[in-house]
Amino acid sequence: MPPPNLRDRRSVSRSRSRSRARARTRTRSRRSGSRSRSRSETSSYRIIGLERLTISGRPKNKTTPQAAVDEFWDKFTSKTPGKATTVIPNSQFVKNLLKNSVTVASASRGSSSAGDKSKPKSPPSAEDLIAYAQPVNASYEAAATLCRAKVEKIIKECRRVNKKYRDAHFDIEADLKHGIRDCLESLPNTKGRGSPPGRSFRPQGVKRATDIFDDPKFYIDGPTANDVRQGNSGDCWLMSALCTLSNKKGIIERLCVAHDQDVGVYGFVFHRDGEWISEIVDDFLYLTKSDYDEAFFDRILFDELERVNGDELYRKVYQSNSGALYFAQCSHQQETWLPLLEKCYAKAHGDFAAIEGGFGGEGIEDMTGGITSEIFTTDILDKELFWKELLSANQQFLFSCGTGVWGSQWGDRGGIIELHSYSVQKAVEVDGKRLVRLKNPWGKGEWKGAWSDGSKEWTPEWLQKIGHRFGDDGDFWIEYKDLLRKYQSFERTRLFEGDWKVAQLWTTLNIPWMVAYHDTYFSFRVATPGRVVIVLTQLDDRYFRGLQGQYIFQLSFRVHRAGQEDYLVRSQLHQRLWRSVSVELELEEGEYEVRVKFDTYRDHDRLPVEDVVRLNAKDNRDKLTSIGLAYDLAHSKGLVVETAEEKAAKEAHVEKLKSKSKQDAKKKLLEDREEEYYMHSKRLQRHKAKELKRRAKRSEKVAAKRAAAKAKKQAKDEAADEKQDDQTKKEEQLPAAAALAERDNAKEDVKDETKDVRDTGDKKVTKDEETALERSSRDTTATVSAGSDGEESGRPTPFCESEEEPDDDDDENLSSIDSMSVYSERELDIRAAAVLSREEEKNGNADKGSESGGEPDEFERDPWNAVAVVGLRVYHQPTDGQETDKNVVTVRVVRPNPYAGDEDAEDAEVQNAETSKTQGLDVDDSAKDATLTGNVADQKKSIVGDKMKSA
């Protein structure tokens, strides 16, 4: 056993250990509690945050989940869908421009005389809004004719005043010198007011082509792919398109239809939104270096190098020939067609920034009027068939290609630049080798693999067979298998030449949030069997960059035989080329329907059109006017014109609604009148019953009082008789004369008293007494009821003064109620009109305020409001080469009838059943099976169609 002091120390030690253990336990408990509270608080905070995020500023309300979802979608979409179709101020001049730009293709168009213009135009019929076919070259010829006329007009004007042409609408010299930069930069439309597109452009000078080039020539040996060199703009897609076009003779030459080098005017034509347009520019071009007098440091340097003529040396080095240009340039130092074409193309789109970024196929479309389709190498089914198509390049089809389409950064794949467009020059098959020649629009940078310049595959024999020369000029060959391996996508453009005809029609559609086939569709008729190309396109917003709005549309469509549920073909969804989609097939004579679908995205980083207008109207008038006019003219294509049939149906529908509303108002007025009369009658009946009950009680009370008065009268009579008997006895004792006198006096008193009693007991009361009785009825009744036990006054109490006998007139008032008055038809119309007017005013005030009654959430403040302007073009080429007229293809827009009433419900249901056959889901949609009806045979028929009929 240890000594006491040791035991004490151990005890103290154990005590301290236990204290420390308890302290550690308390600490862990506090920490655990703290962590628990922290987690609880964090969880609570997150839940609260989630609730706040969910309700988004809306007060909590008790409703079912389904009702909450329905309310959300009801607020999500705008109640007033629409799009601004004109952004510049209203003026008669602009209205005339827009009116003249509306295309209504009809047989009678253009036949009206000038005198007819003053007459009010009646709505067109449905036949007037049918688009008829015309030759594909008709639009080009019209634009080229106008372009030549404008150039000729300018030449005459300039020679008359002895001045070179200066384009006041695209004066790049004044724009650069004054620092305006409208010719370089686009309208800013991003939230936060970031730098506008084109801010990175830094040209230093501007000069005329005749002052830049020593011996300027528009063409030198014609336009070729080797001429093309990209400048400081990101328009490689346009340069690639021009490289591709140079492989087919005559295409580029068709673009510049007229020019005068001495005057400095050039006229070009481009294809825009289904038709050709003309554009005029002067010969001013941007330079990389400023003028000698403006270049401070360079001027000092050149003055030191050349003391005699430093400015001329400066000009020859920095400001002469193609190498001095800031943007695109020809490889030949004296050739000018490329920079002038690029400038004119930029002017057509508003500025140089607008033509940055794009796809080579779209550039080819703008230069040829062709149609481009997108082909991914991973989607090619038959590579042999695709090789045959490449062999026929530069005939019916033109090709361009690119890689890195899914990336966001530039890279290098064996010398091939990602996110860059290359043109396909030609494809050859020699000695079993399949080779494709490509062109880099930069004029440098080539493939470094097999068959590249200097590779081991090139022998003198192969160089001679192919006709190739080495050089870093951006022109190189690649084997077909490497082409499919290194490049991810191809853009194939079909050209329309010869006997092709086209019919097109535009419209404007409100696009719902959900992706589905629209209830408005296109219908076209083919009168002659042949090859048909169907194109669904939207407006090219590159022409009004900055006013695109927030919504981006990805198009697709299906082609059905009219009324057939199964479709013939559907377009392939483009992943990059969203401007248009197309299909090509052989069609027989008949009616066809085109169902369109929109996969819509909203870019919240962009500003709405109205906000862009508001931000630029004050300080950027000229730029907004230029781009705004292009916007207005483009959107006028899709102007929805109400036909005479639709107007008549609308007027009938509105009139029917007004009549129904009026009848409902009249019915409500009559119902309210009857209800009011009923309630009034009930009130009168209750009043009558109450009054009769009161009168019955009063009659009982009067009868009781009369009985009491009668008994009192008898008592008085008996007392009078006793008194008379006593008096008689006294008279016998008095002398006869005195007795006789007293007897006479007694008789007079008795007679007066009898008269008073007889008057008070009468049932008839005079009107004066009745009036006095009515005023003092309560007091008198109370007095009579008390019995008046006091001393008699000598006159009987008027027991009838407090009671009023019911009058016959009062009984008639209680027994009859006036019949309900009837409104006249005129009065009913006036009252109904007043009711409708109040309801309209009330509804108008309700629309102005928040429907929810609380603070609107983010979706109510900015609801879904997507509107697209789309057009359908149908190209047709007869199979037998026979001549066709305008009726070979006709196109029309079929809109649902919003004016079908209840009485037309059966007809509308039948019509909707017919039209909905072509509006079903795609066969590869996951919900397709659930939408099929009928037995298995019917369901299969709805998918594959009637094989016997198709056969």
Residue whose C-alpha is closest to residue 279's, from 88, 631, 543 = 543
Residue 156 has pLDDT above 90, yes or no: yes
Closest by CA to 328, choosing from 240, 437, 260, is: 240
Q: List all residues 6 or more positions away from 542 whose beta carbon is below 8 Å from its beta carbon.
A: 349, 354, 355, 358
Does 102 have pLDDT greater than 80?
Answer: no
* Extended beta strands in 219-369, E state: 228-229, 256-260, 265-272, 275-282, 284-287, 329-330
pLDDT value, residue 916? 59
Whether 938 has a pLDDT exceeding 70, the answer reads no
Q: Which of 186, 357, 183, 147 is nearest to 265 (CA)?
A: 147
Is the CB of residue 188 less than 8 Å from the CB of residue 297? no
Which contiguous run of DSSP H or E holds residue 134? strand 134-135
DSSP 929-947: HHH--SSHHHHHHHHH--H
For the cut 90, the answer to whether the pLDDT of residue 551 exceeds it is: yes
Among 713, 693, 712, 689, CA closest to 701: 693
Answer whether residue 679 shows pLDDT above 50: yes
How is the beta sheet containing 265-272 ordered, strand by strand?
256-260, 265-272, 275-282
Which pLDDT value is given to residue 151? Answer: 97
- Per-residue pLDDT tens digits for 243-265: 999 988 899 999 999 999 999 99
Residue 137, pLDDT score: 93
Query: What mean pLDDT comes out for the span 321-345?
Result: 96
pLDDT band at residue 13 using 50, 70 and 90 as cut-offs: very low
CA triplet 84, 87, 93: central angle to 5 degrees? Answer: 120
Task: Label residue 186 exposed, middle or buried (CB < 10 Å: 0-12, 13-18, 19+).
Answer: buried
Percent of the chain exceeding pLDDT 70 equals 73
What's the pLDDT score for residue 909?
55
The answer to whether residue 295 scores a pLDDT higher than 50 is yes
**Mean pLDDT computed over 460-467:** 90
Confidence of residue 274 (pLDDT cuts 50, 70, 90): very high
Strands (E), 563-612: 567-570, 580-587, 590-602
**Residue listed under structure tokens 């005013």:** 841
For residues 286 and 735, the model is more confident at 286
pLDDT on residue 18: 47
- Closest by CA position to 537, among listed 492, 487, 579: 579
- As given in the structure block, the two tokens for residue 400 are 């361009």
pLDDT: is 654 or 48 the higher one?
654
What pLDDT is attached to residue 164?
Answer: 97
Res. 149: pLDDT tops 90 = yes
Q: For residues 461 and 436, give the distance between their C-alpha atoms in angstroms, rounded to a whole number.
A: 18
Question: How many C-alpha atoms does 257 have within 13 Å on its Cβ side?
Answer: 23
User: Residue ranges of the alpha helices (H) in 734-776?
Assistant: 736-760, 767-775
Q: What is the dihedral of CA 924, 930, 934, 935, to 10 degrees?
A: 70
Q: In this predicted model, which residue has the larger pLDDT, 93 or 897?
A: 897
Which tens digit of pLDDT belongs to each residue from 588-633?
Answer: 999 999 999 999 999 999 999 999 999 999 999 999 999 999 999 9
- 521: β partners: 894
Query: Which one, of 449, 864, 823, 520, lies nearest residue 671 by Cα?
Result: 823
Sign for the CA dihedral angle at 571, 576, 580, 585 comes to negative
How far is it, in rounded angstroms, from Cα 187 to Cα 280? 22
Higher pLDDT, 584 or 84: 584
d(CA 685, CA 113): 78
Q: Contact 312/304 with Cβ under 8 angstroms?
A: no
Give me the helices (H) in 761-824, please. 767-775, 777-786, 808-815
From residue 949, how far is each of 524, 945, 946 by CA, in Å?
20, 8, 5
Q: 71 pLDDT band (50/70/90 cuts)? A: confident
| Strand order across the 433-439 sheet | 371-376, 489-494, 397-403, 420-430, 433-439, 475-479
Q: Which residues are catalytic?
A: 236, 420, 440
Q: One-letter amino acid identity for 594?
A: V
User: How far is it, in rounded angstroms, from Cα 797 to Cα 817?
Assistant: 40
* Beta carbons of 497 and 533 less than 8 angstroms apart: no
Pull the structure tokens for residue 270.
Answer: 């481009």
Query: What are the pLDDT digits (tens) for 810-827?
Result: 555 555 556 666 777 787
Rg, C-alpha atoms of the chain? 51
Q: Work out the pLDDT band at 100, boundaries 50, 70, 90.
A: low
Q: How far is CA 762 from CA 282, 607, 749, 807, in A?
A: 126, 100, 20, 17
Distance separating alpha carbons of residues 375 and 400, to the nearest angstrom? 10
Burial of 62 per CB tally in 10 Å (0-12, 13-18, 19+) = exposed
What pLDDT is recorded for position 944? 67
More confidently predicted of 237 and 7 = 237
Fold of domain 371-494:
Cathepsin B; Chain A (3.90.70)
Top pLDDT among 860 and 517 is at 517
What is the per-residue pLDDT across 771-809, written as a single tens digit (0 to 9) for each? 443 444 444 344 434 443 444 444 444 444 444 454 544
Residue with tokens 């509306």: 102
Q: CA dist 356 to 204, 401, 605, 822, Å?
A: 20, 18, 19, 77
**Cα–Cα dist 87/860, whole Å:** 24
Contacts of 882 (CB under 8 A, 6+ apart): 528
Give the whole-angstrom CA distance, residue 140 versus residue 277.
Answer: 8
> Quick one: pLDDT at residue 847?
56
Per-residue confidence (pLDDT) for residue 741, from 0 to 100: 60
Strand residues in 318-442 grouped as ranges (E): 329-330, 371-376, 397-403, 412-413, 416-417, 420-430, 433-439
Q: Residue 63: CA atoms inside 13 Å, Cβ hemisphere, count?
A: 12
For the chain, the average pLDDT equals 80
CA distance 491 to 424: 10
The residue extents of the domains of the chain are 1-56, 136-188+200-288+325-359, 371-494
> What average pLDDT does this structure show over 337-359?
96
Which position has the token pair 């490449």?
A: 390
Question: What is d(CA 573, CA 583) in angstroms, rounded to the nearest whole number?
Answer: 11
pLDDT of residue 128: 80
For residue 768, give the DSSP letter.
H
The pLDDT tens digits of the residues spanning 702-719 come to 999 988 988 888 888 888
Distance separating alpha carbons of residues 536 and 871, to the nearest angstrom: 6
Contacts of 78 (CB under 8 A, 6+ apart): 863, 864, 865
The identity of residue 336, as a single letter, is: T
What pLDDT does 93 receive?
62
